[in-house]
Structure 1
């Protein structure tokens, strides 16, 4: 019996050492990454301050897929994720908790004081983690899947302040119309599913490990305003022909994970989200490492996701002879005017 116990302890010790070594190796390799300056995509022009028709809608990228839409009266926020967990906490499945100080700072610094709606694009931690806490500080409505509603419940958001929507069901906030359309997460596993797929079946109370945030539905969000239409694509997946008949002036396009899928997949994704909708302006999003502090924008390590390669593909697709599509990288915290001085739309 003693010999068996010794062997068990020895095996456990070896496994522990191997686990520590793997975490250490990943942490070390995580520091090797390309610079933003290496991306072959220019920074986006902020646009004119206002067109003759009264163009006033601004969109401010706040990291990952968090976008603040503002027309001067009403604000809409996708994801509302400001917390940035540490890499080792993610790798070791340590309990995660929203960073309330960072949330408060972001709401104040970016003047998020007229917020009507929060729209998590799916229910992984990097898209929904802070949604309930932002709702409690702003009285905004949280819209999304049943899992998103359970995240809101876990944050004690009042029951009249969150809604589970059906795909294609619009909601109206001031001059904005918001419609969630079912999409897909970029494939991450051999079977084509994302990691931590499935649903959140009960109120998600923090702290909780990264595995507690199941993706549930992934959405394409159509945000319409009298001055223009925008699509927000929070994950680089798609449902074939889902956007037939949907039009947009600008697309905020997630590019995380595209490099792992290959150029042919990326081109099909571009066709389904950008070309199908007739968008004339594209802003890549979800290219930044979410383990860095809020506002410190860095690319993912190339071993995880080669964003430089992906950016080259995007440039190539946009420069096709029969297209006139502008591509610009958003600058963290700098408002853009996506509907200002749009290039002419090609007849298809």
Structure 2
């Protein structure tokens, strides 16, 4: 009997070793980006009315020569071990470097698409450095308060609200986060007091997720869908020429979910172009080339195959945003 228990223990240990080994391997495997290089949008001509620049994850800089504003402003990108095992905080040097690469000195607003750390953690420091308003949910504003941003620099918005920034109009539509092991995609956990970093990554609770509709007076309508979640019918009756489509974890979803997401976001607004965002491993510093999320957490190859098939069927163009380079959205 003792020998049998010993043999069973060895088998169990061997199984655990195999599982751990598989986890380590998958955490280091990143789908290649080379197959999608030809989809990269060209640099914007100097006379373009609206230009956008992409800085990884869901950080997008919109500008028209008069007004500039930014979603998220996430530049710190703490390492995976720091996120998993320690406490994290904004990295001022990384933020300054990111703003310099974007040629940003002044912003009208910083608008996190929700309040997780990879969207809202840096936003108050970006606002401080650029004279911007921090615009978002009550949870996002508590991130700002925790970093000492004054009340005159905070603007709370609720579902259905619109904000005018120069010739841009932003409309905030309630949405949901993609279901993950950390977020069920339905429950909204809020930040109910000023969040003072450093803190564990899960202190940056989701708050309200936004589908952010953007319109410019010179023409053009865009949708920033920061997470691969949705509320059925929420975007019905809305229009956008281009969707900046959050695709994080989409490659691990089943066909039914991907179909619903496409229908409720891309088809609902009648978009003719889709630009994937939130596909990169957001703990890789921005002084290194962006890489796709590792296969342990997502499958960008599956995502792109699925998007391109749906786009071909529905007459939609799939393009990739260049990093830090102005392009026409």
Alignment correspondent of 2:189 = 198
Alignment correspondent of 1:69 = 62
SS in 1 for 2:232: coil
Alpha-carbon deviations, 1:107-139, whole Å to 9, x = none? 122111231011100110000010010111111
In structure 1, runs of 5+ residues without a counterpart are 1-18, 339-348
Alpha-carbon deviations, 1:136-169, whole Å to 9, x = none? 1111111111110000000111101111111111
SS in 1 for 2:210: strand
Q: CA 1:174–1:34 in 2, change beyond 3 Å: closer, same or farther?
A: same
User: 1:186, CA displacement in angstroms?
Assistant: 0.5
User: 1:24, CA displacement in angstroms?
Assistant: 8.6
In structure 2, runs of 5+ residues without a counterpart are 1-15
Alpha-carbon deviations, 1:295-339, whole Å to 9, x = none? 42001111210110010000011001xx3211101111111111x
C-alpha contact 2:177 2:227 (8 A) present in aligned 1: yes
Alpha-carbon deviations, 1:256-307, whole Å to 9, x = none? 1112221221121111111111111110000000110114200111121011
In 2, Cα distance between the equivalents of 1:325 and 1:304? Answer: 27
Match runs of 1:95-244 below 5 Å: 95-189=87-181, 192-193=184-185, 198-226=189-217, 227-244=219-236
Pairing partner for 2:266 from 260, 274, 280: 274
User: 1:60, CA displacement in angstroms?
Assistant: 0.5
TM-score by length of 1: 0.84
C-alpha contact 1:41 1:327 (8 A) present in aligned 2: no
Match runs of 1:31-42 below 5 Å: 31-39=28-36, 42=39
C-alpha contact 1:236 1:257 (8 A) present in aligned 2: yes
C-alpha contact 1:252 1:285 (8 A) present in aligned 2: yes
TM-score by length of 2: 0.89
User: 1:38, CA displacement in angstroms?
Assistant: 4.0
C-alpha contact 2:106 2:131 (8 A) present in aligned 1: no
Q: CA 1:187–1:88 in 2, change beyond 3 Å: closer, same or farther?
A: same
How many pairs were matched up?
Answer: 312
Q: CA 1:46–1:40 in 2, change beyond 3 Å: closer, same or farther?
A: closer
Q: CA 1:46–1:113 in 2, change beyond 3 Å: closer, same or farther?
A: same
In 1, Cα distance between the equivalents of 2:64 and 2:328? Answer: 10
User: 1:30, CA displacement in angstroms?
Assistant: 2.0
Alignment correspondent of 1:334 = 325
Alignment correspondent of 2:50 = 57
C-alpha contact 2:185 2:229 (8 A) present in aligned 1: no
Judge which range, 258-267 or 184-193, deviates more: 184-193
User: 1:47, CA displacement in angstroms?
Assistant: 5.0
